[in-house]
Structure 1
Amino acid sequence: MKRVTPALLASLITVGFSCSPFSYAQTVKTLNVSQIRPTQPAIGDDEVNYKVAKLQNDHKALFDEFCENIGAKGVKTFDSQSSLAQPTSFSCLAAPGTDAEDVKSAVIAPDHHIYLTDGHHTVSTFRALANNQDFPFVVRITNDFSHLASMDRFWSTMQQQHLTWLEDPQGKPVAATQLPQQVGLQAMQDDPYRSIVYFLRGIAYDKPDQAPPFLEFYLGSWLRSQQPVNTQQLSTKTGYMAYLQQAAARLVAAPGGQHSTDKVDSPTLSQLGQRQTVNEKKLNKLAEPGGKLSLLFKEG
């Protein structure tokens, strides 16, 4: 098995850009992270900021996660000066794409840009950790839609196949032409409900093995209608924790057959993994030292 050296990684990156604009023969593609386009308008900023806080002072964990997410198993070499923005400053245990199932999915559009269909929070986290400097990233192409006649046809197909979420954080429709041009905190809107649902995973719901597409956004839509958030409340750890406690209790108490939105074809709460009881132990851990909320609010 090949091991990734700085020279090999550099050559892989060169190969990724040697075609015009991409070689479609391979499933796994390497491109600059700034070239990846989103298929949704928003992310949960607090989820990303928590992950940044978790990784920014742990270089081993950071490069391990990065190497794993590009399908390269884990980190091999790094030092205190290593940076995602300097690919030759660290190396992975295997070539990018070796473990293709670990690579985030994307599609190719008729405009020949690559659109991310999974991993918006992961990409945003790595970009924040790189201080928004560019770096090579690897995606797994699941569909090549470059043959479609137009971008309108592309977005229609994406909606039919549940590969895009075209609603803003207020639940209002968003035209595909209004989507950001890049993935990241600086480019995308903040959806606080998306972060709330992330923190409630394993507490008020368990993600099913065969989860409906955009599960977290559906649960976020339900919370927005049932327990509107006061952003001021989320500005302190105490307020955030109080909201999560209330949201968890409300979610597990709701009828399992209730639809997550006002659309009759939207997934029900049961289909979204609604728990019958709140996992109080896991909920309380959020605010303990080293817990997710403690790290988010930089309390260690």
Structure 2
Amino acid sequence: MKCKALMLPLFSLLLLISTIVNANDLKVGSIALVPLSTLHPTQPAIGYDQVYYKLGRFQADPKKQFDEICEANGQKGLSHFTSSSMPNIPSSFQCDEAVGTEKKDMKTIVIAPNGQYYLTDGHHTFNAFWQMKDGGKQFKVNVVVAKDYRALPTMAAFWKAMAIDGNTWLQNSTGHAITYQQLPTSLGMANFENDKYRSLMYYSRDVGWNKPKSPVPFLEFYWSKEVRKGIDLSHYDLTSAKGYRQAITDVSHYLINMKSDNVGGSGKTTKEMGQFTAFNKKGLNKLFNPKKGKVTYMLKYKNSL
């Protein structure tokens, strides 16, 4: 057993190295190890409060930090780490499986005609990795190539295809249309607008809705478009547990009562988008657990800034 435990990190490290060497030969389905600085965003906004939860949790629970790194790399979860483990040194901790074993859990990129990588899933997780201690722009992650657009003649053709394929979200934090030229050029929270509605969609999961088995890209943003129509978040104190609890409650009830065959222009019904038939109070209470609730971690971190 001891021998097996020592071999897994070495195997994973060798796979990481080989991924870097073969980066120029990527194709759809390939796994690539890349620094965060090489990933270009495909959306203009994120929910800051979702990232704040992750950062707050990482500070209070280092095990969760390493566990999330393992999951993002398709390694299921964390099996071993010590007080001297470093998130930017893969050999200092051990994951359950080899890189890419759980490919479905990994974040995705597409390759543009200019050869650059555009992130189509994982903006919140990777911004947390960028902002966390020992993270930053040189922090390396494994990603999966979802589509290769290098055969297209121009970047203008690329962005047209990206819009048709649903691989970019060209609306800002207030719900207004933008052009692809207005997208951030790099990860890092300071480069993104803060979409409070996107945050509330994250925290209302398992209360008023949950992600379906086959979600559309940018699922939460489609929901957010609908929530903006009926709920004004400026009426809530989103720095307090009481205010946040009421916001999640109202958003969740709004989702549950919604009837639509085309949520936010997604072409999907409310049921297909994960709508619950009843309010899940247990899920709400879990968010505010005083020791390990997601909102508890988030508010503590946010209010310390």
Normalised by the length of structure 2, the TM-score is 0.86
Write the mapping of 1:76-91 to structure 2, written as runs, cut at 5 A: 76-91=79-94
- Bigger drift between 29-38 and 223-232 goes to 223-232
Q: Distance in 2 between matches of 1:282 and 1:95?
A: 33
Partner of 2:298: 296
Is 1:3 matched with 2:3? no
Q: Distance in 2 between matches of 1:211 and 1:73?
A: 21
Q: Distance in 2 between matches of 1:198 and 1:169?
A: 15
Is 1:147 matched with 2:155? no
Please tell me the root mean square deviation across aligned C-alpha atoms, in Å: 2.5
* Deviation (angstroms), 1:16: 4.3
* Residue of structure 2 aligned with 1:205, choices 205, 209, 212: 209
Is the 2:87–2:134 contact (alpha carbons within 8 Å) kept by the matching residues of 1?
no
Q: Aligned pair in 2 of structure 1 residues 75, 285: CA closer, same or farther (>3 Å)?
A: closer
Write the mapping of 1:163-202 to structure 2, written as runs, cut at 5 A: 163-202=167-206
Is the 1:218–1:267 contact (alpha carbons within 8 Å) kept by the matching residues of 2?
no
Partner of 1:27: 30
Write the mapping of 1:34-45 to structure 2, written as runs, cut at 5 A: 34-45=37-48
* Deviation (angstroms), 1:234: 1.1
Q: Distance in 2 between matches of 1:107 and 1:95?
A: 23
- Bigger drift between 115-124 and 25-34 goes to 25-34
Q: Secondary structure at the match of 2:254?
A: helix
* Deviation (angstroms), 1:14: 4.8
For 1:212, the aligned partner's letter is V
Is the 1:212–1:271 contact (alpha carbons within 8 Å) kept by the matching residues of 2?
no
Q: What is the aligned residue count?
A: 293
Q: Aligned pair in 2 of structure 1 residues 269, 74: CA closer, same or farther (>3 Å)?
A: closer
Partner of 1:115: 118
Is 1:274 matched with 2:275? yes
For 2:211, the aligned partner's letter is K
Is the 1:227–1:247 contact (alpha carbons within 8 Å) kept by the matching residues of 2?
yes
* Residue of structure 2 aligned with 1:92, choices 95, 108, 123: 95
Is the 2:236–2:244 contact (alpha carbons within 8 Å) kept by the matching residues of 1?
no
Q: Aligned pair in 2 of structure 1 residues 284, 8: CA closer, same or farther (>3 Å)?
A: closer
Q: Secondary structure at the match of 2:57?
A: helix
Q: Secondary structure at the match of 1:186?
A: helix
Is 1:126 matched with 2:105? no
Write the mapping of 1:60-71 to structure 2, written as runs, cut at 5 A: 60-71=63-74
Write the mapping of 1:235-254 to structure 2, written as runs, cut at 5 A: 235-254=239-258
* Deviation (angstroms), 1:156: 0.8
Is the 2:20–2:32 contact (alpha carbons within 8 Å) kept by the matching residues of 1?
no
Can you give the 5+ residue segments of structure 1 that lack an aligned partner in the other structure?
A: none
Q: Secondary structure at the match of 1:84?
A: coil
* Deviation (angstroms), 1:129: 2.0
Deviations 1:136-179 (A, max 9, x none): 11100011111110111111111111111111011111211221
Q: Distance in 2 between matches of 1:222 and 1:114?
A: 31
Is the 1:100–1:140 contact (alpha carbons within 8 Å) kept by the matching residues of 2?
yes
* Deviation (angstroms), 1:222: 0.9
Deviations 1:1-43 (A, max 9, x none): 96223x962x555544446x73225710111112111111111
Q: Secondary structure at the match of 2:74?
A: coil
Q: Secondary structure at the match of 2:33?
A: strand
Partner of 2:220: 216
Is the 1:193–1:223 contact (alpha carbons within 8 Å) kept by the matching residues of 2?
yes
Can you give the 5+ residue segments of structure 2 that lack an aligned partner in the other structure?
A: none
Q: Distance in 2 between matches of 1:37 and 1:231?
A: 34
* Residue of structure 2 aligned with 1:137, choices 134, 141, 147: 141
- Bigger drift between 103-112 and 84-93 goes to 84-93
* Deviation (angstroms), 1:93: 4.4
* Deviation (angstroms), 1:249: 2.1
Is 1:226 matched with 2:230? yes
Q: Secondary structure at the match of 2:247?
A: helix
Q: Which has the higher helix share?
A: 2
* Residue of structure 1 aligned with 2:60, choices 57, 60, 75: 57
For 1:97, the aligned partner's letter is G
Q: Aligned pair in 2 of structure 1 residues 208, 232: CA closer, same or farther (>3 Å)?
A: closer
Is the 1:233–1:239 contact (alpha carbons within 8 Å) kept by the matching residues of 2?
yes
Q: Distance in 2 between matches of 1:209 and 1:74?
A: 21
Q: Aligned pair in 2 of structure 1 residues 260, 210: CA closer, same or farther (>3 Å)?
A: same
